[in-house]
Amino acid sequence: MSRKSPPVRGNDAPAPAAPLRRLLLELGDALLSGGLPVHDVEEELHSLGRALGAPGVRVAALTNGLFVALEPQEATRFQPVGAALRFEQTADVLHLVRRLRTGELDEDRALAELDAIRRAPARWPTWVADLGVLPVGMGICMFLQPVAANVLAAGAGSLIVVGLTVLARRLPLLRPLLPVTAGFLVSLLVLALAQASLLDGPLRTIVATLAILLPGGLLVTGLSEIAAGAASAGTARLVSGAVQLALFLAGVAAAAAAIGMPATALANVQVAKPSWWIIVLGLALAVAGLVINVNTPPPAIPWIIAVITASTTVQVVVGSEHGAAVGGLAGAVTAAVAATLVSWLPGGPLWQVLYLPAFWIVVPGSFGLLNTAQIEVSNGAQSLLAAVSAVFGVSIGTLIGSVISRIPRPAVRHTLPAR
């Protein structure tokens, strides 16, 4: 006798409360651990609850946990956020949510698969992922300061970042000191080379080297959450990001004081303008390093490259004409449109899997953090305004992108062939 698969449940056949509640709590924990904004997590769980027969589900997500109740009269249950997930784990969780929504899985199988995703090893050794920081730093430096000496200095500084990242992973007590220590040691190296007249324009080289650690994504996510009505979570992320940024700046200032460099040495000066082929090469290096560093799922890599290429091209072209704020907005919207269109293709990756890597390139590419880094050097008010406007530009673009991603996939009409 053949074994029959369990029937697909519709909205008129509600799921048992305990397994469904646990499933929503575990999935919300996983999505928050993957770094998704709280309003996106709430929307995913509301949609999933309706698909699984719990249309009255209530969800309140925070940065450190979430509350879930299946009915308005039911007491809420709290789930704290666990350990952070790697990018490919987050991609697997999002795919799991899609399969649940379409009825391909039941609660028990979904919980088993979710546990397997959490315990899954990385696609390659940790040291390989860590070394992905090297091409990211050098690639972004080719955008910001396309001079051979600066790019080589960014590579040497990136090795310092790799070493500090490994040390912080092995000694968790030192993790809070990572921003100030990385800012100090990288700045000490680059400023020493500048003092020896081996390179010019050290600020952009420092920012390129530290870009993968800078909290630009945290600040943008916080602003987008506040704009979406999640003020508590957004404020928490903004405060956390601001503190991390202050620690980076403290490390840079301490290095300048230790080496005896004047404040004018940290001016935002671009020694040379990058030509189109240098931009292409720098983009290729940065994307390759990012793909390695976050353990990107191999089937999604070509689509991720296409989305990043489109968003970066629009950002560079628009930003060169209208400034960093408008360029960041245009880049974020382009990334969302491209990711949504690709996700509509048969077998295409989910839009978040395509959008997040592009977002990580768009944020440092907005150059707003360059203005933040020189706030105390000269013309602080103007630099602060430029930095805030750049971050707001990417935030607004992210909000628009979130709306675009919710556009239903167009129905494809199939016509019968003529007899």
Three-state secondary-structure class, residue 189:
helix
The percent of residues in the chain predicted with pLDDT above 70, rounded, is 80
Cα 93 to Cα 73: distance, rounded to the nearest angstrom: 29
With bands split at pLDDT 50, 70 and 90, how would you rate the model's confidence at 402? low
With bands split at pLDDT 50, 70 and 90, how would you rate the model's confidence at 362? low
With bands split at pLDDT 50, 70 and 90, how would you rate the model's confidence at 375? very low
Cα 202 to Cα 47: distance, rounded to the nearest angstrom: 49
Cα-based angle 141, 329, 269 (whole degrees, multiple of 5)? 35
pLDDT computed for residue 324 by the predictor: 66
Rounded mean pLDDT of 158-177?
A: 91
Rounded mean pLDDT of 41-69?
A: 88
Residue 263: which of 146, 383, 150 has the closest Cα?
383
pLDDT computed for residue 408 by the predictor: 67
The answer, yes or no, to whether residue 387 has pLDDT greater than 60, is no
Q: What is the pLDDT of residues 253-284, one digit of tens each?
A: 899 889 888 877 777 777 888 788 888 888 88
Rounded mean pLDDT of 324-330?
A: 74
Please answer whether residues 143 and 313 qualify as being in contact, where contact means their C-beta atoms are separated by less than 8 angstroms: no
The answer, yes or no, to whether residue 380 has pLDDT greater than 60, is no
Token pair for 388: 């805030």
Sheet with strand 77-80: strands edge to edge: 58-62, 65-69, 77-80
With bands split at pLDDT 50, 70 and 90, how would you rate the model's confidence at 26? very high
Cα 292 to Cα 309: distance, rounded to the nearest angstrom: 17
pLDDT computed for residue 350 by the predictor: 73
The answer, yes or no, to whether residue 9 has pLDDT greater than 50, is no
The answer, yes or no, to whether residue 154 has pLDDT greater than 60, is yes
Q: How does 125-162 read in b/e, with b if 16+ C-beta sit within 10 Å?
A: eeeebbbbbbbbbbbbbbbbbbbeebbbbbebbbbbbb
